[in-house]
Amino acid sequence: MPDGSFAHPQQRHFNPYTENGGTILAIAGADFSVIAGDTRQSEGYSIQTRYAPKVFRLTDRAVLAVNGFAADGNMFVKKVKQRLEWYRHAHAKDMPLRAIARLIQTMLYAQRFFPYYVYNILGGIEEDGKYHTSLPSYSTAFPPHPLSRVHWIKREWKCGPKVLVANTFRLLVQLGSGAVYSFDPVGSYEREACRAAGAAQSLVQPFLDNQIYFKNQTAPAGQSHPTHLPLQDVLSIVIDSFTSATERHIEVGDGLEMYVVLAKGRSPQGLESIAGIQEVTTKSDSDRVFVIRRELKKD
Amino acid sequence: MSIMEYNGGSVIAMVGKDCVAIASDLRLGVQSLSISSNFQKIFPVTDRVFVGLPGLASDVTTLHEQFRYRVNMYTIKEEREIEPETFAQLVSSTLYERRFGPYFIEPVIAGMQKTPSGSLKPFIAATDLIGCLNFAKDFVVAGTASSKLFGVAEGLWEPDLEAEDLFETISQTLLNAVDRDAFSGWGAVVHLMCFFEGSTHPLAQPRRSSTNRIASPVAP
Amino acid sequence: MDHFPTSWGRPRNEAYDAFNTYPLHQRPNHSKDVFADGVQRTQQPIVTGTSVLALTYKDGIMMAADNLASYGSLARFKSIQRLHAVGNSTVLGASGDMSDYQYIQTLLDELVIDEFTANDKHDLGPAEIHEYLSRVLYSRRSKMNPLWNSLLVGGKKNGKRFLAYVDLLGTTYSASTIATGYGAHIAIPLLRKAIEGRENTLTEAEARSILTEAMRVLFYRDARSLDKFQIATVNDEGVSISETITLETAWGFAEGIRGYGAQTQ
């Protein structure tokens, strides 16, 4: 029984961690990614604020969602952004998505014995998409730039001992593909098509298995399930996931912030018509980043 | 180690239009070791009532016997079958009797309740391990996959589902939830009860409820 | 957030001592840490301040804190000031350990002097002060040697209002109304009801009366509070911290309630 005396030694303990609730989620499409998170920050049963962003634009093709201990999360994002800025200064271009993913792994593992108590989901556009022969109008509209993913190739024909080189060049354009990387607090990571994390992970992930991966669903005879869903369908699933999580989890709610990363060259069909959408891209002629905000229940 | 997770298992019940469904997985395990893929957790109480008993496997048997005894006593005394809502109250009081040394079971009840007009309306309820009743209008869940069941059900369920659609909804909910739960799975069973007033529907004729094994037990 | 600074940063345990029956400065802790013999540094708060309340209104921000510094359950210092002006567009309000708070004051005063002597036509606004404090508190928690405080930073610079929180773990957030300690439980519901959606129309007089009412409610219910408090205002005119205000309270209602007033049996 504590009595204030120094007769018996007392053990005190400082816990450097806390949990700040909330949930994040990312889904990769064929040539886009959606990265979303709610905006409530809480501790125990108290809502600290109704607007604390958990999703951050890193570059014009990478968006990072962080969830767990908010102080660690904010510090981690700050340090990732700093490393990306250094990379930009050194290489005069943005770091590719897969390189950001590996960077995040090493940064997390560096803290293996005093971890950032944070679950990370990185979404964006990967440079591994299909090559498409461009139309002449495309090459006029988007002339090749040293930073762009446009490749000039020479056409060659072998005719016996001779090699004929065509006197025209053709333009090949690499379309980026949607990518999602998910991490654990000490840096284990993998590329996936979709991932939920945070307080309502257990509510959302099985729903996504069903709706994104079509788990436990049989395709009609002679047909197969699509490998990637269209953007409008993905946005509907994201909104449904968060309204459901808000309904059944006390730490989820207040607001929803959805980032959409569109691969360069993809027409933003249907995106302009979404109410309140905001473009946050910094450069022209690059992949594009948009934010969509929605209200969630506040109780 | 939580005693509620010792054997694993999950149950869900859902309301539809003039129909109700209750479903469970078939796993029995000892912590992470799976022992059986055909362990019954849902039991018929009357022709119109089912009870699901997820939790500690030994208590599944004990409580099932306890309920059978009490329902039989009720049937003899009252000279009629017990109604779902009455049975829910019986479950609640049986569990609360053991308030300070509970059975480690969270029962789920589903049935078709008689209305004053003589028709039947869907009824579901669930309790915690000491008998706190939850009469829900949409769906109830229990067991080791409960949070997953909540998440999927909240996304898939909608009001006034027809029997076929309710069957699909509860099956998809259960299957996708238990696939993300290490303690549940290994096959599943769905019981569907429908009220067909003067119907010629083939389901309405031979029996009042139908049971479907939606995923056969899978060998490891 | 827990009501008592002593519990901040400790593992939550709702099952034990739910009614806070132990003296504030001697919370029990039964957990065994096998590494504990090796290190001995983490402190506990000794002299503590209770809630700080703050809100945004039409022309700026307003903050309130009472004048008490407690030693456990003893009302030890009854005219302590817990609101502190930093530069001329920021105010800092502190709850938690008062000696850590005074250390933070010296840090900030040094910082402001350095900034002044640089004479580069830049001065630190509330956002910069808050960022600085969050780095200091986060780095101290990362050294497992925290500054045991919950701080509110408020201000107005270049026409922009600012109000944010930072605590011993380095957790930060901003909102239109914030409270620390017991205030987060008792005052926040009152303040949110009065302020949310009215941040741009609320007058200074209205804001003052809302804060005063919240301080009165806190004095009635928070056993570590005092009926003497101050209000700080930051608007386009700069920072002003009021003289001590004494709350009017009425205890007549207690007469008929068993457990409140003097009972004869």
pLDDT at A270: 85
Would you say the C-alpha torsion C119, C125, C131, C137 has a positive or negative sign?
positive
Least confident of A13-22, A170-179, C105-114, C217-226: A170-179
Would you say the C-alpha torsion A235, A238, A239, A240 has a positive or negative sign?
positive
Would you say the C-alpha torsion A143, A146, A147, A149 has a positive or negative sign?
positive
pLDDT at C146: 96
Say how far residue A186 (Cα) sits from the centre of its chain.
Answer: 18
Which residues in chain B have Cβ-Cβ distances shorter than 8 Å to A202? 147-148, 151, 180
Q: Is A244 on the interface with B (CB under 8 A)?
A: yes
pLDDT at C37: 58
> Helix count (H) and strand count (E) of chain A?
5, 16
Q: Report yes or no: B112 and B84 within 8 Å, Cβ to Cβ.
A: yes
CB contact under 8 A, C42 and A70: no
Q: Say if residue A217 is in the same domain as residue A117.
A: yes
A288: its two tokens: 């594009």
Residue of chain A with shortest Cα separation from C138: A71
Would you say the C-alpha torsion B19, B24, B25, B27 has a positive or negative sign?
negative
CA atoms of A84 and A141, how far apart (whole Å): 30
Q: How far is A203 from chain B (nearest CA, A)?
A: 4
pLDDT at A6: 55
Please, which pLDDT band fits residue A149 given cuts at 50, 70 and 90?
A: very low
B161: region left, alpha or beta (phi > 0 left; psi from -120 to 50 alpha)? beta
Mean pLDDT of A100-124: 98
The residue ranges of every structural domain in chain C are 47-243
Q: Say if residue A116 is in the same domain as residue A93.
A: yes
Please, which pLDDT band fits residue C33 given cuts at 50, 70 and 90?
A: low
Which residues in chain B have Cβ-Cβ distances shorter than 8 Å to A203? 147-148, 150-152, 154
CB contact under 8 A, C22 and A2: yes
Task: Give Cα separations from C130 to B137, C90, C150 (angstroms).
Answer: 49, 9, 12
* Residue A74 burial (CB count, 10 A): 22
Residue C213 has pLDDT above 70, yes or no: yes
CB contact under 8 A, B152 and A248: no
Q: How far is A258 from chain B (nearest CA, A)?
A: 19
Report pLDDT digits (tens) over A13-53: 799 999 999 999 999 999 999 999 999 999 999 999 999 99
C20: its two tokens: 């806070």
Report pLDDT digits (tens) over A206-231: 999 999 999 999 999 999 999 999 99
Task: Please give the mean pLDDT across all residues of chain C.
Answer: 90
Q: How far is C133 from chain A (nearest CA, A)?
A: 13
Q: Say if residue A187 is in the same domain as residue A269.
A: yes
Least confident of A138-152, B143-157, C67-81: A138-152
Q: Say if residue A153 is in the same domain as residue A203.
A: no
CB contact under 8 A, C144 and A14: yes
Write down the pTM of the prediction. 0.87
Least confident of A74-83, A157-166, B99-108, C41-50: A157-166
Report pLDDT digits (tens) over C116-125: 999 999 999 9
CB contact under 8 A, C42 and A51: no
* Domain extent at residue A154: 131-174
pLDDT at A160: 63
| DSSP secondary structure code for residue B105 in this structure | B
Q: Which chains are within 8 Å of C by 3+ CB pairs? A: A
Residue C108 has pLDDT above 80, yes or no: yes
Residue A147 within any structural domain of the chain: yes
pLDDT at B147: 98
Q: How far is B194 from chain A (nearest CA, A)?
A: 24
Q: What is the ipTM of this complex?
A: 0.90
Q: Say if residue A170 is in the same domain as residue A180.
A: no
Residue A48 within any structural domain of the chain: yes
Q: Say if residue A184 is in the same domain as residue A236.
A: yes
Task: Please give the mean pLDDT across all residues of chain A.
Answer: 88
Please, which pLDDT band fits residue A269 given cuts at 50, 70 and 90?
A: confident
Q: 3-state class of B25 per DSSP? A: strand
The helix (H) or strand (E) run that includes residue B11 is: strand B10-16
Q: Which residue shows structure tokens 């039991």?
A: B43
Nearest CB to B154; choose among A202, A210, A248: A248
Which residues in chain C have Cβ-Cβ distances shorter than 8 Å to A54? none
Physical contact, B and C (3 or more Cβ pairs within 8 A): no
Which residues in chain C have Cβ-Cβ distances shorter than 8 Å to A46? 1, 184-185, 188
Residue A62 within any structural domain of the chain: yes
Mean pLDDT of A254-262: 98
Q: Is A82 on the interface with C (CB under 8 A)?
A: no
Residue A8 within any structural domain of the chain: no
Nearest CB to B177; choose among A206, A217, A241: A206
Residue A1 within any structural domain of the chain: no
Q: Is A211 on the interface with B (CB under 8 A)?
A: yes
Q: In percent, how much of chain C has pLDDT > 90? A: 78
* Domain extent at residue B172: 3-217
Count of CA atoms in the C-beta half-sphere (13 A) of B156: 31
Split into its structural domains, chain A has a count of 2
Q: Exposure string (b/e) for A156-192, b if CB count within 10 Å is 16 or more?
A: eeeeeeeeeeeeeeebebbbbbbbbbbbebebebebb
Residue A18 within any structural domain of the chain: no
Q: Say if residue A220 is in the same domain as residue A107.
A: yes
Residue A185 has pLDDT above 80, yes or no: yes
Catalytic site positions of C:
42
Best CA proximity match to A23, nearest among A258, A221, A213? A258
Residue A247 has pLDDT above 60, yes or no: yes
CA atoms of C150 and C154, how far apart (whole Å): 13
Residue of chain C with shortest Cα separation from A4: C26
Residue of chain A with shortest Cα separation from C183: A46
Q: Is A10 on the interface with C (CB under 8 A)?
A: yes
Residue of chain A with shortest Cα separation from C36: A11
pLDDT at C252: 85
Please, which pLDDT band fits residue A78 given cuts at 50, 70 and 90?
A: very high
Split into its structural domains, chain B has a count of 1
Residue A44 within any structural domain of the chain: yes
pLDDT at A139: 47
pLDDT in tens, chain B (220 residues): 899 999 999 999 999 999 999 999 999 999 999 999 999 999 999 999 999 999 999 999 999 999 999 999 999 999 999 999 999 999 999 999 999 999 999 999 999 999 998 889 999 999 999 999 999 999 999 999 999 999 999 999 999 999 999 999 999 999 999 999 999 999 999 999 998 766 555 444 444 455 666 554 444 4
Q: How far is A3 from chain C (nearest CA, A)?
A: 7
- CATH no. for residue B125? 3.60.20.10
Nearest CB to B151; choose among A207, A215, A216: A207
Q: Say if residue A42 is in the same domain as residue A118.
A: yes
The CATH classification number of C47-243 equals 3.60.20.10
Q: Say if residue A51 is in the same domain as residue A185.
A: yes
Q: Is A85 on the interface with B (CB under 8 A)?
A: no
- What do you get for the CA distance between the two ends of chain B, in Å? 25
CA atoms of C66 and B219, how far apart (whole Å): 69
Residues C251-254: contacts with CB under 8 Å, at least 24 apart:
none
CA atoms of C126 and C139, how far apart (whole Å): 20
pLDDT at A147: 45
* Residue B85 burial (CB count, 10 A): 17
Q: Say if residue A55 is in the same domain as residue A138.
A: no
Task: Give Cα separations from A111 to A81, A105, C137 (angstroms).
Answer: 17, 10, 19
Interface residues of C toward A, Cβ cutoff 8 Å, are: 1-2, 9-12, 22-23, 25-29, 31-33, 36, 42, 44, 134, 138, 141-142, 144, 146, 165, 169-175, 178, 184-185, 188
CB contact under 8 A, C138 and A75: yes
Q: Is A200 on the interface with B (CB under 8 A)?
A: yes
Residue C259 has pLDDT above 80, yes or no: no
Task: Give Cα separations from B80 to A6, B74, B83, B86 (angstroms).
Answer: 71, 8, 9, 12
CB contact under 8 A, A204 and B151: yes
Q: Say if residue A170 is in the same domain as residue A181.
A: no
CA atoms of B102 and C62, how far apart (whole Å): 53
Which residues in chain C have Cβ-Cβ distances shorter than 8 Å to A15? 9-11
